[in-house]
Structure 1
């Protein structure tokens, strides 16, 4: 049984056909710095502004502690995306803003390192985290948003079963600027492509 509110992210994993999702560990430092360094120029236009120490061990340790705290609080669930078989870190995905009661919803955000784009890893990771959200957390709805000119992300979300719901003005501060985003949503009862997921 998965203990969602333990003091540290549980040593769990969710295994799909080509990628595995699991919470970050301190031992993943080298992998994280490597892929983020290689992908810095590619990722910066789509992410909040990187801090000056973004690629340092100290920044990574703070990230792991924050993920652990959020797992403990049950408000956010961060995962790294690993390529099956090779033990290669290819990206990250997070279910954030998890709320219960009359809402039962959360939001997802994700990134894939530049060397691994267009291989289907991001789409599979989204399907796995939707399985986690609906099956493990019993959420009713999951939301996502992407920059209006991020056509790759829009396509990924639509293929995963999300429906376009509108445009949010100046929704998030990305790369140092408040920018408009297109918003998407999917319900637990909506049709969506499924991948087989094994709990590790």
Structure 2
């Protein structure tokens, strides 16, 4: 087992672009994370699943970190926080979930941005950076993403990052307490990148 582990590429390096750094969250990120999520709650809740009552507590954050670590160990998913380079300010997060190997070689992309940092092109930059990581380090063939049809900013991020719209999935995810239709997007390792 240790031999196999030592031969495997580290799936969670720091991913950097000109303005941002993506890295795995650690316990010391709790204060920034809880503050940013709290101040962005009204901005985020229309696009996310319902938040549990204890969502922003330190204990819930610890549980998240354990789940993130388990998913990474199992090559099932990877959660990264998005920070400003130099300043180290938490801006948002990216999740690669439902990693599938075998004949599929794909994952699903999700992301969130703090309200005060939205509209600056930072998430587009982060998505472009993570796609390089997905195709070159994780060696996956396909990245899928979904967003509500009314979420114009998210649609724009995906298009600018090089994703293609593939269709509509009826009642695809339970968002803010309701089953909602989603537009499906994807990018292949063989697609041209912006």
TM range (shorter): over 0.9
Q: Output aligned runs, 1:50-199, within 5 Å.
A: 50-193=51-194
Query: For each residue in 1:167-191, what CA deviation from the matched residue of structure 2 results, as whole angstroms up to 9, or x when unmatched?
Result: 0000000000000000001110101
Residue 3, structure 1, aligned to residue 10, structure 2: yes
Shift of 1:3: 2.8
Residue ranges of structure 2 left out of the alignment (5+ in a row): 1-7
Question: Alignment partner of 2:170: what SS?
Answer: strand
Superposition CA RMSD, Å: 1.0
Shift of 1:2: 4.1
Query: For each residue in 1:113-152, what CA deviation from the matched residue of structure 2 results, as whole angstroms up to 9, or x when unmatched?
Result: 0000011111011011101110001111110000010011
Residue ranges of structure 1 left out of the alignment (5+ in a row): 5-9, 194-200
CA contact (8 A) 1:95 1:129 kept: no
Which consecutive aligned stretches of 4+ in structure 1 deviate over 2 angstroms post-superposition? 1-4
Shift of 1:35: 0.5
The higher relative CO (CA closer than 8 Å, separation ≥ 6) is in 1
What is the distance in 1 between the residues matched to 2:10 and 2:135? 16
What is the distance in 2 between the residues matched to 1:115 and 1:191? 31
Question: Alignment partner of 1:3: what SS?
Answer: coil
Query: For each residue in 1:72-123, what CA deviation from the matched residue of structure 2 results, as whole angstroms up to 9, or x when unmatched?
Result: 1001010000011111000000111111111000110000000000111110
Question: Alignment partner of 1:180: what SS?
Answer: strand
Corresponding residue for 2:4?
none
Corresponding residue for 1:48?
49
